[in-house]
Structure 1
Amino acid sequence: MPPSRSPGLLALYPHITDRDRLLLQLLDDHQVLTTDQIHRMLFQARRTCQIRLGELAGLGLLDRFRFARAGGGSHPWHWTLGHHGHRFQAAAHQRPEPTLRATRQRVHRLSANPHLPHLLTANEFFVRLTAHTRRHPEARLRRWWSETLTTRQFRTITADGHGLWSVAGTTVGFFLEADTGTEPLGRVVAKLDRYAQLTRRGGPRYPVLFWLGSEHREEHLHRLLTGDVPCATATHTADPAEAVWLPAGATGRVSLAELPSDHGQPVADNPNFDDDGDLAF
């Protein structure tokens, strides 16, 4: 007989709800989310969210960390998969089961990663779109791909994420460049060369969305955009689903669903998504 799994995981199954499964999948795909982000996507009441996250941590399905805030207090909890969460996801997707040591190392590396703020910023973009769909039933976030999956599927580019956004029958694809102000704008614009290469080899001509930390930085970036690659800008203060996007060379802002989008040749989908591109279990 094959060796059995380490004890404990099957006993957790009666405690895992459909919402828990969705949260485990989101953390498997996107590594880390804050309490507030999880609340806006999956819960009505913040207190209910906090209680449930604590229960999932007690079951070993989630782990968490947070940092001290300058001047006193702490930043919000950052949630990631715990050891049993990694085991559950490995079983669900037929991956090798991780060891406890490997799980701990993954959490330590994630918490100490200097690029963690950038990852949270990129995730926040998609969290806001997801939260928007809860208030607007006609809208759907049909695809949310991480930087890793986007790079694997499209190869040429290294976007911070890729999505498909649908409103009332119109579907727009996009690539996200989540800007935290740490790179010179010349280097930011230089990334567009890779998107042009993708289009030349038959890939989709999706708008590149530059999500920026300030209006000042947005204004300066527009002076550098040539329009060779479709792109648009907005700031972190805006709801990315609304009419906040300023296309290169334009004077008026449009909504995400109004941006031009050419899907080009199809790419192989992630097995975690169904035929419609929606998150599947």
Structure 2
Amino acid sequence: MPPSHATGLLAIYPHITGRDRLLLQLLDDHQVLTTDQIHRMLFHARRTCQIRLGELAALGLLDRFRFARTGGGSQPWHWTLGHNGHRFQAAAHHRPEPTVRASRQTVARLSANPHLTHLLTTNEFFVRLTAHARGHPQARLRRWWSETTTTRRYRTVTADGHGLWGVGDTVVGFFLETDTGSEPLGRVVAKLDRYAQLIRRGGPRYPVLFWLGSTPREEHLHRLLRGRPGDVPVATATHSSDPAAAVWLPHDATDRVRLVELPSDHGAPVADNPNYDDGVFVV
């Protein structure tokens, strides 16, 4: 008797490691990561990372795409879930099993998404925090929520991401606004009204982090913030920085501070839950 469709997926299970499962969950939550990003988060040797990604692609758990680079050559591989990866994640989270056509459409739409660069830049922020924590035992990225999850949990807030960053016993929550220069800064500042509404509803008073593409754009944003009420804490830094380091400039200060030093009011005790499904990310 030929193996059933379900049996085909079960046959892959002996080849899936704990690290593979974490990668599948990351891609399920955050859609796409480059080879370099996966390497910095989950592997020590780049070559080992490349070999393992190829093996996972051969199993149908991952898929990949890349584009031509201006001036010649190719951009890095962009990795996402393959059909078996979508099936595995659907089974893990009690979702309907996708068809081959649906899985292919998901990859095609992602690769053609005009906001792909913005998504990768947002993911890069959290990748850098994760990589920093690997080299600093006291630090830990306790939560990494995507835009979709953040919007679902906080309703009116449409941040690009939300996280909890801990160093020792100190845990700071934050909302991330990734700026790639695609919209006027006045519109960017207007987003703070939604965060003010969240605070008035009794939600957390987390700092809103504006991660900007250049120093001139950062300076322009601070000019726009002058005179604005301090109901929502705001801090800025540029894409060239390590977000865990002393690079954050609060809108009402002159000295830059570390992420863990920013004011953060959780509104309630933060649960130290090791379950990734509840939003906690542990490598």
Runs of 4+ in structure 1 over 6 Å off: 266-271
Provide the residue aligned with 1:260 in structure 2. Answer: 263
Give yes or no for the alignment of 1:78 onto 2:78.
Answer: yes
Q: TM-score, normalised by structure 2?
A: 0.94
Provide the residue aligned with 2:156 in structure 1. Answer: 156
Q: Deviations over 1:195-232 (max 9, x none)?
A: 00000000000000000000000000001112331010
SS at match of 1:71: coil
Distance in 1 between residues matched to 2:114 and 2:6, nearest whole Å: 34
Distance in 2 between residues matched to 1:70 and 1:270, nearest whole Å: 44
> For the structure 1 residues 56 and 238, does the alpha-carbon distance in structure 2 shift closer, same or farther, using more than 3 Å as the test?
same
Give yes or no for the alignment of 1:233 onto 2:206.
Answer: no
Q: In the alignment, is the contact (CA less than 8 A) between 2:141 and 2:281 conserved in 1?
A: no
Q: Deviations over 1:143-191 (max 9, x none)?
A: 0000000000000110000000000100000000010011100000000
Provide the residue aligned with 1:208 in structure 2. Answer: 208
Unaligned runs of 5+ in 1: none
RMSD: 1.9
Distance in 2 between residues matched to 1:278 and 1:116, nearest whole Å: 24
Matches within 5 A, 1:87-102: 87-102=87-102
> For the structure 1 residues 269 and 139, does the alpha-carbon distance in structure 2 shift closer, same or farther, using more than 3 Å as the test?
closer
Amino acid at match of 2:10: L
Q: Deviations over 1:21-71 (max 9, x none)?
A: 000000000000000000000000111101100010000000000000111
Provide the residue aligned with 1:113 in structure 2. Answer: 113
Structure 1 window deviating more from structure 2 (157-166 vs 226-235): it is: 226-235
Provide the residue aligned with 2:25 in structure 1. Answer: 25
| Number of equivalences | 276
Distance in 1 between residues matched to 2:270 and 2:49, nearest whole Å: 36
Provide the residue aligned with 1:278 in structure 2. Answer: 280
> For the structure 1 residues 127 and 202, does the alpha-carbon distance in structure 2 shift closer, same or farther, using more than 3 Å as the test?
same
Provide the residue aligned with 2:188 in structure 1. Answer: 188
Unaligned runs of 5+ in 2: none
Distance in 2 between residues matched to 1:183 and 1:154, nearest whole Å: 23
Structure 1 window deviating more from structure 2 (259-268 vs 236-245): it is: 259-268
Give 1:272 shift.
5.7
Q: TM-score, normalised by structure 1?
A: 0.94
Provide the residue aligned with 2:171 in structure 1. Answer: 171
> For the structure 1 residues 157 and 269, does the alpha-carbon distance in structure 2 shift closer, same or farther, using more than 3 Å as the test?
farther
